[in-house]
């Protein structure tokens, strides 16, 4: 593949005039301008700027290209997760285990959790998930319209995770979805309060389950804990944190891919008809949708020593974001990366992360997406965006579609 020409003049003047901010030298992942120009900014970054700089708060870097992100993500000794994934972390925001930890503690937890999220384990949930897809569709299909995000997109991932993995009552889903959403997108100083409610609820649930007869599920092994490198059992607060982390991942990310893919199919008739007529292509299309519509914009590491990435010198203590969203659009590894190609033969992306911290829930996410597109297109093969409306978004560490009005 031809190497794209790299822009050498990085003063950001052209970028600032185009986007209202110098996205190369003065980036802010929470800036509404980034949300507004999301894909255009990603493409400018990955093409022209291998390492982006932010001066917000304590400042941070963002690495944009696939090869560099894989290098950083796999080198946990130099780029630690133990000080969190969020730049300028608000005071009082608890750490999430095992996401915000390094080996050997991370390894101990993942070794215990992985069997419950394996392809074989997740496959057992397919019948229930497909039934839930149809239950949700039944609620609005006769109306001929729906607001996809609130009526389907935020519900199915939670139902799938709560019913099959956690055993948490789905009646409590809306409260947890709200807590996770506001804990991610609210002003930084407000996030700890929202997450505190999620921690309190799940901590109480874990305490109840700890004293109940074991069910042989994921919650049982979290409640039991793992042994750390010092021979001590993981403290209770770490076990609660693991449950919060799993729940966070289970309800906060799949919705964006799901809604964005449905929006794409609503506005691209040829792709929609192709999948309606050829449902065997849906599995491949899922990978392309995950690549093009990455729910995780970037997650961070902290440098443990002075180092260098793509010619940029970084010091011990510097915070570095791994731009998973840009890496999946890197023209060095993806042909015509801005195009949504549902028939793409090889789909290389970083949407589920890289290295030790690769998303533990990727198998469940793929199943949810495949079941959604299978059942939706079977039952609602012809649909579009409601005239006079368009989806709205919010962007930070994660990206979220807030609403999508459909008619059919």
Instruction: List the CATH number of the domain containing 237.
Output: 1.10.630.10
Residues in the chain: 408
* Confidence band, pLDDT 50/70/90 cuts, at residue 35: very high
Residue 362 lies in a domain: yes
Q: How confident is the model at residue 10 (pLDDT cuts 50, 70, 90)?
A: low
Overall average pLDDT of the 126-138 stretch: 98
Residue 28: which pLDDT band, with cuts at 50, 70 and 90? very high
Task: Please indicate, yes or no, if residue 6 is contained in any of the structural domains.
Answer: no
End-to-end CA distance of the chain: 42
Q: Assess whether pLDDT exceeds 50 at residue 117.
A: yes
Give residue 8's pLDDT. 40
List, for residues 290-338, the tens digit of each pLDDT value: 999 999 999 999 999 999 999 999 999 999 999 999 999 999 999 999 9
Q: Compute the average pLDDT of residues 279-293.
A: 96
Structural domain of 295:
13-407
Q: Does 255 fall in a domain?
A: yes
Residue 59: inside a domain: yes
Name residue 319's beta-bridge partners: 302
1 within a domain of the structure (yes/no): no
Does residue 2 belong to any structural domain of this protein?
no
Stated pTM of the model: 0.92
Domain count of the chain? 1
Q: Is residue 396 situated within a structural domain? A: yes
User: 394, 253 in Cβ contact below 8 A?
Assistant: no
Q: 204: exposed, middle or buried (C-beta count within 10 Å: 0-12, 13-18, 19+)? A: exposed
Does residue 12 surpass a pLDDT of 80?
A: no
Note whether residue 8 is domain-resident.
Answer: no
Q: Which of 136, 111, 60, 108 is nearest to 309 (CA)?
A: 60
306 Cβ neighbours under 8 A, 6+ residues apart: 313, 314, 315, 316
Q: What is residue 70's predicted lDDT score, i.e. its pLDDT?
A: 95
Beta strands in 261-391 (DSSP E): 299-303, 307-309, 312-314, 319-322, 384-385
């Amino acid at each position: 593949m031809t190497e794209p020409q790299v822009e050498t003049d990085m003063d950001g003047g052209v970028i600032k005039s185009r986007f209202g901010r110098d996205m190369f030298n003065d980036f802010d992942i929470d800036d509404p301008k980034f949300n507004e120009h999301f894909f255009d900014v990603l493409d400018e970054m990955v093409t022209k700027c291998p390492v982006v700089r932010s001066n917000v708060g304590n400042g941070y870097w963002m690495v944009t290209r696939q090869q560099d992100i894989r290098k950083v993500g796999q080198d946990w000794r130099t780029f630690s997760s133990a000080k969190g994934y969020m730049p300028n972390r608000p005071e009082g925001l608890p750490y999430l285990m095992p996401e915000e930890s390094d080996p050997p503690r991370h390894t101990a937890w993942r070794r215990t959790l992985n069997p419950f999220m394996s392809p074989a384990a997740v496959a057992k949930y397919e019948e229930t998930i497909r039934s839930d897809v149809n239950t949700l569709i039944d609620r609005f299909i006769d109306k001929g319209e729906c607001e996809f995000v609130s009526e389907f997109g935020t519900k199915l991932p939670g139902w799938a995770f709560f019913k099959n993995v956690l055993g948490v009552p789905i009646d409590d889903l809306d409260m947890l979805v709200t807590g996770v959403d506001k804990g991610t997108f609210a002003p930084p100083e407000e996030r700890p309060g929202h997450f505190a409610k999620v921690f309190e609820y799940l901590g109480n649930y874990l305490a109840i389950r700890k004293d109940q007869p074991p069910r042989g599920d994921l919650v049982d092994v979290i409640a039991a804990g793992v042994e750390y490198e010092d021979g001590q059992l993981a403290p209770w607060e770490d076990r609660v944190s693991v449950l919060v982390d799993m729940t966070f991942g289970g309800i906060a990310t799949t919705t964006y891919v799901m809604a964005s893919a449905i929006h794409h199919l609503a506005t691209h008739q040829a792709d929609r008809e192709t999948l309606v007529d050829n449902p065997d292509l849906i599995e491949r299309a899922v990978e392309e949708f995950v690549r093009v519509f990455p729910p995780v914009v970037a997650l961070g590491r902290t440098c443990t020593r002075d180092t260098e990435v793509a010619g940029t010198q970084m010091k011990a203590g510097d915070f570095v974001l791994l731009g998973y969203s840009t890496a999946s659009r890197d023209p060095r590894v993806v042909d015509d990366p801005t195009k949504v190609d549902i028939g793409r033969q090889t789909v290389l992306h970083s949407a589920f992360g890289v290295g030790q911290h690769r998303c533990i829930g990727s198998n469940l996410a793929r199943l949810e997406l495949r079941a959604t597109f299978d059942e939706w297109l079977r039952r609602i093969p012809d649909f579009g965006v409601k005239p006079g409306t368009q989806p709205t978004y919010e962007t930070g560490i994660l990206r979220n579609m807030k609403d999508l009005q459909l008619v059919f």
